[in-house]
Amino acid sequence: MARRADEEYDYLFKVVLIGDSGVGKSNLLSRFTRNEFCLESKSTIGVEFATRTLQVEGRTVKAQIWDTAGQERYRAITSAYYRGALGALLVYDVTKPTTFENVSRWLKELRDHADSNIVIMLIGNKTDLKHLRAVATEDAQGYAEKEGLSFIETSALEATNVEKSFQTILAEIYRIISKKSLSSDEPGPASIKEGKTLVVGGSEENTKKPCCSSS
C-alpha cells in the first residue's frame, strides 16, 4: 500500500459546502476537484465527499470537502458534519432570491452546530445566467460585510472564480492556523488539544508516513 506522491501534504483542511438545494453546491465541488460540470446532476442525498490537494501560500494543503444535501429535512443528518470543519462555503443562487434570503438561516445553523472560529465564505453561484439574475452583487456584498463573511460570485458552469473561491477560503484558514501556532510558540500537545479543529496533528502523521514507505 504505497502512498502516492500526491498524498503528501502539510495540512488537511475540512470544509463543508452548504446552502439551499439546487444552488449548485455539487457542481462547484466537481468543478473544483475534477474540473467537471454536469448539467444533469442528481440531488445530493445526505452527504457526499471529495478531496483535492493544492498549494496554498507555498504549503501543500489537502482540502477535504463535504458536500451536504440542501433540503431542510436533512439538517439533522448534515449538521453532524459541521463538527471539526475549518471552513464553510455558504452557497446561494443569484437567480433565486429565496436562496439568498435563506442565507441567514444557514448562518444560524452554522453558529449553532459548527466550531465558533469557522471561516465562512458566501458564494453567489450561477452568474452565467445573466438575464435571470435576481440578487444584486451589492446586496450580497453588503450582507457579507455586515456578517463578517468573505464574498465571491462564481459560475460553476463557466468555471469562473471557482478556483479562486476555494483558494481564498483555504488561504484564510491557513492564515488563522499559522497565526495560532505562532501565538503559542511551541505547538505542544496542549495547543492541539485545545483546538481540536486543527488537523495539524494529521499532517504530522502524514509527513512521516512517506519516509517509512520510501526507506
Partner 1 sequence: MRNTNNNNNNSAEDQRKKESTLTSLDSRFNQTLRNVQGLLKGRSIPGKILLTRRSDPLDESSVQERTPEYERSLSYNEAGSSDHLAKAAEEEVQSTSKLNNNTNVIKLKTSTSEIENTSKEVQKSAMGARATDSARVMKFTKALSGTTVILEKLRELAWSGIPDYIRPDVWRLLLGYAPPNSDRKEGILRRKRLEYLDCVSQYYDIPDTERSDDEINMLRQIAVDCPRTVPDVSFFQEPQVQKSLERILYTWEFNDWELAASYSLLHFIQTRIPRGGGCDRLCWDLNGSGKFDIRSFYHKIRNAAPSSFPWKGIWKVKVPKRVAFFIWTAAYGQILTLDNLMLRGCPLTNRCCENRLPSTLKKNGEYDVKSYDELRSSRNIPFSGKAFGVLECLSILSYAKSVLELLACWHQGVKAWKEAPLFIIWAIRHPASGYVQGINDLATPFLVVFLSEYLEGGADNWSISDLSLENISNLEADCYWCLSKLLDGMQDHYTFAQPGIQRLVFKLKELVRRIDEPVSRHMEEQGLEFLQFAFRWFNCLLIREIPFHLVTRLWDTYLAEGDALPDFLVYIFASFLLTWSDKLQKLDFQELVMFLQHLPTQNWTHQELEMVLSRAFMWHSMFNNSPSHLAS
Binding site for partner 1 (CB under 8 A): 1, 21-22, 40-51, 64, 69-74, 76-77, 80, 98
* Choice between 75 and 166, CB closer to partner 1: 75
- For residue 47, the minimal CB distance to partner 1 (Å) is 7
Chain centroid to CA 67: 9
* Choice between 53 and 181, CB closer to partner 1: 53
* Choice between 190 and 211, CB closer to partner 1: 211
Q: What is the dihedral of CA 30, 32, 34, 35, to 10 degrees?
A: 100
- For residue 75, the minimal CB distance to partner 1 (Å) is 9
* Choice between 39 and 182, CB closer to partner 1: 39
Could you tell me which of 43, 45, 85 has the C-alpha nearest to residue 64?
Answer: 85
- Phi then psi for residue 174, to 5 deg, are -60, -45
* Choice between 23 and 120, CB closer to partner 1: 23
* Choice between 44 and 168, CB closer to partner 1: 44
> Measuring CA to CA, how many Å separate 131 from each of 22, 128, 171, 197, 199?
18, 9, 33, 42, 43
Chain centroid to CA 165: 9
- For residue 109, the minimal CB distance to partner 1 (Å) is 13
Show the cell assigned to 167. 483558494
- Alpha-helix runs per DSSP H in 18-158: 25-34, 75-78, 97-101, 103-113, 137-147
- For residue 51, the minimal CB distance to partner 1 (Å) is 6
- For residue 20, the minimal CB distance to partner 1 (Å) is 9
Sheet strand arrangement including 47-56: 47-56, 59-68, 11-18, 87-93, 119-125, 150-153
- For residue 45, the minimal CB distance to partner 1 (Å) is 4
Could you tell me which of 97, 89, 161, 102 has the C-alpha nearest to residue 135?
Answer: 97
